[in-house]
């Protein structure tokens, strides 16, 4: 119920506890504990190999075209950082341009306040110049409503989708461009 609403385990559990939905003797939820658990215990081999071609492509965009890259996830910071490190993409963002749910709470994607927090942090004054690369239709729609351009990552199949109502919809007006996997980004942009 809470995850379906917020698309973020950290925010869902934070709000559920605040709403009194935890058992009476349950320990207090901590985003830090969740982040540390995920960072230490999850199987990162499921991410596939490092994305070196993506790194090179994005590094060139950043360097030659003065593009500011931001990683924004509804996952906790330690976990997101670990994922980016495993994919060998972290150095594109560094800590200063990595934003996770703990950086924008009490908000999270798709809430406009979460995006505004990031825009303010990076000094973005022209939302229309931003491109959101995202796998969630809910977040794609929010980004588009704020004026961003959007690239939907559809994935290769729908098996195991946690939120089936959020499946990719290529006919949705909020989708400017779609790719199957992040590696396809190399051919999707001019």
What is residue 155's predicted lDDT score, i.e. its pLDDT?
82
Backbone angles phi, psi at 99, to 5 degrees: -120, 130
Contacts of 12 (CB under 8 A, 6+ apart): 2, 3, 5, 6
**Where in the chain does DSSP place strands (E)?**
71-72, 98-99, 131-134, 149-153, 177-179
Q: State pTM to two decimals.
A: 0.86
Residue 88 vs residues 51, 81, 181: alpha-carbon distances, Å:
6, 10, 16
> What's the distance, Cα to Cα, between the start and end of the chain in Å?
40
pLDDT tens, per residue, the chain with 190 residues: 888 888 789 889 999 999 999 999 999 999 889 889 998 999 999 999 999 999 999 999 999 998 999 999 999 999 999 999 999 999 999 999 999 999 999 999 999 999 999 999 999 999 999 999 999 999 999 999 999 999 999 986 656 656 667 778 889 999 999 999 989 988 887 6
């Amino acid at each position: 119920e809470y995850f379906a609403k917020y698309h973020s385990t950290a925010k869902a559990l934070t709000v559920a506890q605040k709403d009194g939905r935890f058992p009476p003797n349950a320990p207090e939820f901590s985003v830090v504990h969740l982040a540390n658990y995920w960072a230490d215990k999850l199987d990162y081999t499921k991410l596939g190999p490092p994305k070196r071609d993506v790194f090179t492509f994005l590094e060139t965009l950043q360097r030659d075209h003065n593009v500011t890259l931001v990683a924004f996830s509804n996952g906790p910071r330690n976990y997101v950082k670990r994922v980016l490190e495993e994919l060998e993409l972290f150095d594109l963002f560094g800590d200063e341009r990595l934003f996770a749910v703990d950086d924008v709470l009490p908000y999270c994607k798709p809430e406009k306040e979460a995006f505004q927090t990031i825009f303010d942090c990076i000094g973005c004054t022209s939302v229309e110049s931003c491109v959101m690369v995202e796998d969630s239709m809910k977040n794609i729609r929010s980004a588009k409503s704020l004026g961003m351009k959007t690239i939907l990552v559809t994935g290769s199949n729908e098996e195991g989708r946690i939120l089936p109502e959020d499946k990719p919809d290529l006919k949705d007006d909020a989708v400017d461009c779609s790719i199957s996997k992040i590696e396809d980004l190399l051919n999707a942009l001019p």
